[in-house]
């Protein structure tokens, strides 16, 4: 418990605080009040199969282009997780695997790490497993 300006604050999960002032029991957390963020993410996942695939393809192309232009400055392979969530919603598992293979290739091709069998193969397996499992987690 933390005492702050004559108000008793009790620590709850994920850094939120509950204000105990007798009859008032409010949970205030600026990060959780973001309805704009929820609306933005729901926009990405809404729509027909074609529209979701178009948005996912556009994101994959945009991430690949930005990763290509930033030449070894910052690896952006983790950003492919968002399009994988999107395609997981509308594709079958074998199709998700092919998109995961594409994202793995792009992430490996545009990162700054030199590829050798000993270092590159485990990294590629990890990339593919992450992309594929994230895509599978959103299958219907």
Based on the domain organization, do 77 and 130 belong to the same domain?
A: yes
| Residue 13 neighbours by CB distance under 10 Å | 5
Based on the domain organization, do 11 and 47 belong to the same domain?
A: no
State the pLDDT at residue 117: 84
**Could you tell me the residue range of the domain that residue 21 belongs to?**
2-33
Q: What is the pLDDT of residues 5-17, one digit of tens each?
A: 444 444 444 444 4
Provide CB contacts within 8 A for 97, sequence distance 6+.
132
Nearest to 107 by CA among 86, 124, 85: 124
Based on the domain organization, do 10 and 44 belong to the same domain?
A: no
Which two structure tokens, joined as six digits, stand for 92?
A: 């079958």
* Radius of gyration, CA atoms only, the chain: 21
Based on the domain organization, do 130 and 93 belong to the same domain?
A: yes
pLDDT band of residue 26 (cuts 50, 70, 90) is very low
Based on the domain organization, do 21 and 77 belong to the same domain?
A: no
Based on the domain organization, do 54 and 13 belong to the same domain?
A: no
């Amino acid at each position: 418990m933390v005492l702050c300006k004559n108000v008793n604050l009790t620590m709850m999960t994920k850094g939120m605080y509950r204000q105990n002032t007798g009859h008032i029991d409010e949970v205030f957390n600026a990060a959780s009040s973001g309805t704009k963020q929820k609306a933005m993410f729901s926009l990405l996942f809404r729509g027909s199969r074609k529209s979701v695939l178009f948005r996912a393809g556009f994101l994959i192309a945009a991430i690949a282009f930005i990763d290509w232009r930033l030449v070894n400055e910052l690896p952006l392979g983790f950003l492919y997780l968002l399009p994988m969530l999107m395609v997981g919603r509308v594709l079958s598992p074998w199709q998700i695997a092919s998109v995961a293979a594409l994202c793995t290739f792009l992430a490996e091709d545009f990162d700054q790490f030199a590829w050798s069998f000993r270092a590159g193969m485990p990294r590629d397996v990890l990339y593919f497993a992450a992309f594929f499992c994230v895509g599978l987690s959103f299958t219907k």
